[in-house]
Amino acid sequence: MRPESGWMGTTFRPIPPGMERGSWLFPDGANCERVLELDCQLRPARAWIRRVLSVALVASGFWIGWWAVLPLLSTVFLFRLCDGPIERSRHPEYLLFAVWVCSELITAASIVLAGDRGMAMTAWLALPVLTLGARFSGRGTTLGVGIALAVLVAVELTTDAAAVRANPPVLVAPAALILCVAMFQSVIVRSELKLRGEVVIDPLTGMLNRRALERRVDELQQQSRLTLQGVGLIAADIDRFKRFNDEHGHQTGDAVLVEVGYRLRKSLRAFDFGYRTGGEEFLVLLPGADLEETARLAEILRHEVECIEADGCCVTMSFGVAASPSGRTFDFDEVFQRADAALYEAKSAGRNRVCPPVAAATPRAA
């Protein structure tokens, strides 16, 4: 199953290891993860904006000159060229910001090439600012607005400085537009992030919570009625977690949970979903995966967690896996019960292992 995309669709990509730790642009690493997910959702709309502007430039080419069209068209290749490095980077937010600056400069180049006839296009410099709040923290937004204003001043003075001196509103109006767009966008995005974080994100581990799981299960069950694709499920539990709290204190126990959540998130595929369902209990949903794929990913997760040490103790996890068969509607309760029974078997067999369903339950009719 591929990530979904479209005019108003959502596209998910894996979060590279290291970025959850935070950076100058994103002091809150978990917030960085959610903001980059929003950036994925901007891709379809961004493509349509480029198309609209390209049509506008072509329609105006006779008056402003055809050379002004070329820089904007080059943004198509710029974003495609950078998608791969962004996804592989430990701190993709810096590459995203560099691409954002390039998009602002490319828009400026189109205006400059149009000459004094392109002064009406300076308002377009506010369009990239629309995405600042959805992509970057307060620091990034402030820096981006400063760059946009500097580019605006440079463009207007380069294009027709005399017109600016004779009629300052031609500079003041687009500058005010940039500032107002940035302020409104920032408030809306921060409120949305706060709401999402409070509702569906576990504040300690950064994993999705039970409420998010309920929503996703409903979505998958509705989708499976149409696609009849299988869904894999991994039930996981930290081995002997109580001893970390009893022997080393709750601070160490919390640190273990944070590190386990980080290791699980970084190892999941782009369209898998990880949840913290209890104190030391986790669950992963794998749309489109069969039992073999599910067990393979569970083994990767088991190995990642096994590398964790806490106060001289090695952290391990046990995993139970199950999957709904292709060609039938996904029944979460049935698949979860089978994965949970497999988890119990993994615990009984010595822990730190992956176990498949002990006996496949008879699937219900679609």
Residue 259's pLDDT is: 92
pLDDT above 60 (res 113): yes
SS3 sequence of the chain: CCCCCCCCCCCCCCCCCCHHHCCCCCCCHHHHHHHHHHHHHHHHHHHHHHHHHHHHHHHHHHHHCHHHHHHHHHHHHHHHHHHHHHHHCCCHHHHHHHHHHHHHHHHHHHHHHHHHHHHHHHHHHHCHHHHHHHHCCHHHHHHHHHHHHHHHHHHHHHHHHHHHHHCCHHHHHHHHHHHHHHHHHHHHHHHHHHHHHHHHECCCCCCECHHHHHHHHHHHHHHHHHHCCCEEEEEEEECCHHHHHHHHCHHHHHHHHHHHHHHHHHHCCCCCEEEECCCCEEEEEEECCCHHHHHHHHHHHHHHHHCCEECCEECCEEEEEEECCCCCCCCHHHHHHHHHHHHHHHHHCCCCCEECCCCCCCCCCC
Q: How many residues does the chain have?
A: 366
Instruction: Please state the rounded mean pLDDT for residues 315-327.
Output: 93
Active site residue 219: no
Could you tell me the domains of the chain?
A: 19-200 (no CATH), 210-355 (3.30.70.270)
Instruction: Give 99's pLDDT tier (boundaries 50, 70, 90).
Output: confident
Which residue in 280, 293, 304, 306 is the catalytic one? 280
pTM: 0.51
pLDDT tens per residue, range 284-305? 999 989 999 999 999 999 999 9
Q: What percent of the chain has pLDDT over 90?
A: 29
- CB 52, CB 73: distance < 8 Å: no
pLDDT tens per residue, range 155-176? 989 888 888 888 889 899 999 9
Q: Which range among 189-203, 212-226, 269-283, 292-306 has the greatest average pLDDT?
A: 292-306
Instruction: Give 76's pLDDT tier (boundaries 50, 70, 90).
Output: low
